[in-house]
Amino acid sequence: MNTKSIKEGLSAIANEVLADVDKEAENIVQEAEARAKDTLKTAKENADQTYQTILDEAAVKTQAEKRRIESLTEVETRNQLLETKEAIVNEVFGRALAELQELVKTEVYHEHLTRLIEEAARKIASKNLIVHLNAADKAWLTQDKLSKLSEKLQVNLRIAKKPEQCLGGCRVQTPGGDVAYDNTLESRLEQRRQELRLKAAKIMFEEA
């Protein structure tokens, strides 16, 4: 084989190899492009999914925040109602106290005082009782009046030496102080406070 034939053979082989390389390269490029498309498609799908997930999470958070705000608003509303209710109760009691302050200046009050003493005495199972009164009521309840009241109740009543610090009414106790019944006007008024609170709450919260 001459030199020319050898060169031609090598050239043919080289061309064939180059053609195979070009074809392989083209296949690699096409596969790369295909993979790139798949990657882009997957990336887009992942991005879409992530975006939807973010939207869903945002929607959930928005609803939760909305409920929190609504709940906070409800709490604030109920707190406002409670404040209003207490203000109403205090106003009513302020008026009642003012009326009682006027009542104790009248003769009618003394009839109430007598009944309050009788009521307190009957609550305590004792034949000897001490009656606590404020200074004005002590001056009004003379020994003669006290004796008549003791006879009516079949109980030995004595007036405490120290005046009671109260608007009116009485506090009755056994001599040893182990049993007592507070029938002062303030105590009776305070007993009505919780009752009034409950009534006010029922009306306000049923309407709210």
Q: To the nearest whole percent, how much of the chain has pLDDT over 90?
A: 38
DSSP 8-state secondary structure symbol assigned to residue 174: -
Mean pLDDT value across the chain: 75
- Tokens read off for 136: 């004005």
Measure the CA–CA gap between 90 and 97, rounded to whole angstroms.
10
Q: Delimit the domains of the chain by residue range.
A: 1-78, 104-196
Higher pLDDT, 191 or 120: 120
Task: Identify the pLDDT of residue 87.
Answer: 78
Sheet holding 128-132, edge to edge: 156-159, 128-132, 169-173, 180-184
Enumerate residues 6+ apart whose C-beta is below 8 A from 82: none
Is it true that domain 104-196 has CATH number 3.40.50.2300?
no
* DSSP 3-state of 124: coil
- Position 178 confidence tier, pLDDT thresholds 50, 70, 90: very high
Model confidence pLDDT, tens digit, residues 102-141: 989 988 999 999 999 999 999 998 999 999 999 999 999 9
